[in-house]
Amino acid sequence: MIVREATLDDTKDIVSVHLANPDRPFDKPIESLSIAERYRYGGSLMSIESGAIHLNNLLAWGSVPLVVEEKGKVIAEAEFYIGRDVPPLGTTLDISLLYVHSDFQRQGAGTLLMREMISRAEREKCNYMTVSGGLGAPGFYSRFGFSHLLDLKAVDCSVPRRTDTCTCETYTPADFEKLPRGTLWIGRFLSPCQKWQEIVDAIKKRDAILKERVEWPRPVGRYSKSDGFLSFLVPEWRNISKADVYCWSEELTPKVVSELLSHAHLEGYGRVCLLCHPEVVKLVSDICRSAPRRSWQILVRKLTGSCQKQL
């Protein structure tokens, strides 16, 4: 078995790895599902068409998907992002995805990918490595020194009718070339830099291949120079009257939270979900008048002997 960086030629094999690990069993033969149905079912890597766009975007952004090859066939894939993460993390390598084909699990492929990512994190002088989410395999990560760091909480609320206006500007495609500054206080499903790329990537995929889902509203971004924040509203797949909110900002103030709700109101959303960092959960739940619920956890591994690198 060897670990190497993925290329676009690996798309078909990478998609096979992910199709062999569905989140829930397919209720119809996979061949009978359209590209949009597959995408809705399990994301980009459920078809070669959307998988190619996803991998193309990753490679174009300078990200490095890794694969394990066995006898000329790709049997496992990992994706990771290096960037400045939420407090108390500094420069962090976040593992966003790690899957081994079901026919090849427990044969060492996952370990090879973990070792490669640890050595890259050390080389890049990261302070930490993280992995987050539903965490299907916490026992696997604890073998590599990962432990619980923090829980993110979800605040789900109906959008109040508001009359206030704001000085925010709408994001244009040219703005997408610049990485956002500040902490991703709201919406850290993945590392801050990856989340940014994923929103841009989702817009490209939607425009390129998901035309049949024209009713799916376009994610809309706004930024405010005066208040120093950037936000995005991304409609949920299963309920397009509800949006997931993302907000990058140096500091999350009551005014910024109010602006997020105004934005959702102006865009016609009835409900929003704000996934909050523990430091801002009380502020957000007070303004939204909704109790938070535990939602997402981040596991962390500290890297020894590393120094802070400014990104």
Ligand X SMILES: CC(C)(COP(=O)(O)OP(=O)(O)OC[C@H]1O[C@@H](n2cnc3c(N)ncnc32)[C@H](O)[C@@H]1OP(=O)(O)O)[C@@H](O)C(=O)NCCC(=O)NCCS
- Interaction site with ligand X (CB under 6 A): 21, 98-100, 105-111, 136-137, 139-140, 143
Judging by DSSP bridges, how do beta strands 169-170 and 147-158 pair with one another? unpaired
Least distance between ligand X and beta carbon 154 (Å): 19
Least distance between ligand X and beta carbon 288 (Å): 30
Task: Give 72's contacts (C-beta < 8 A, 6+ positions apart).
Answer: none
Residue with tokens 């109906």: 158
Which is nearer to ligand X, 44 or 290 (by Cβ)? 44
Which is nearer to ligand X, 1 or 35 (by Cβ)? 1
Give strand pairing partners of 12: none
Least distance between ligand X and beta carbon 141 (Å): 8
Q: Give the pair of three-digit tokens for residue 31.
A: 């061949």
Least distance between ligand X and beta carbon 111 (Å): 3
Which is nearer to ligand X, 52 or 75 (by Cβ)? 75
Least distance between ligand X and beta carbon 213 (Å): 26
CA distance 259 to 3: 46
Work out the burial of residue 281: count CB atoms within 10 Å of its CB; fewer than 13 is exposed, 13-18 middle, 19 or more buried.
buried
Hey, which bits of 64-124 come out as E strands?
66-70, 73-84, 91-100
Least distance between ligand X and beta carbon 244 (Å): 20
Which H or E element spans position 195?
A: helix 192-209
Which is nearer to ligand X, 109 or 186 (by Cβ)? 109
Q: Give the pair of three-digit tokens for residue 76.
A: 């496992």
Least distance between ligand X and beta carbon 112 (Å): 7
CA distance 225 to 169: 9
Which is nearer to ligand X, 21 or 297 (by Cβ)? 21
Q: Residue 81 — left, alpha, or beta (φ > 0 → left; ψ -120 to 50 → alpha)?
A: beta
Task: Give 89's contacts (C-beta < 8 A, 6+ positions apart).
Answer: 127, 128, 130, 149, 300
Which is nearer to ligand X, 128 or 146 (by Cβ)? 146
Least distance between ligand X and beta carbon 297 (Å): 13
Q: Give the pair of three-digit tokens for residue 114.
A: 């973990």
Which is nearer to ligand X, 106 or 294 (by Cβ)? 106
CA distance 109 to 14: 14
Q: Give the pair of three-digit tokens for residue 137.
A: 């395999």
Q: How far is CA 153 from the centre of its chain?
A: 16
Which is nearer to ligand X, 104 or 248 (by Cβ)? 104
- Which residue of the chain is nearest ligand X when measured via CB? 110
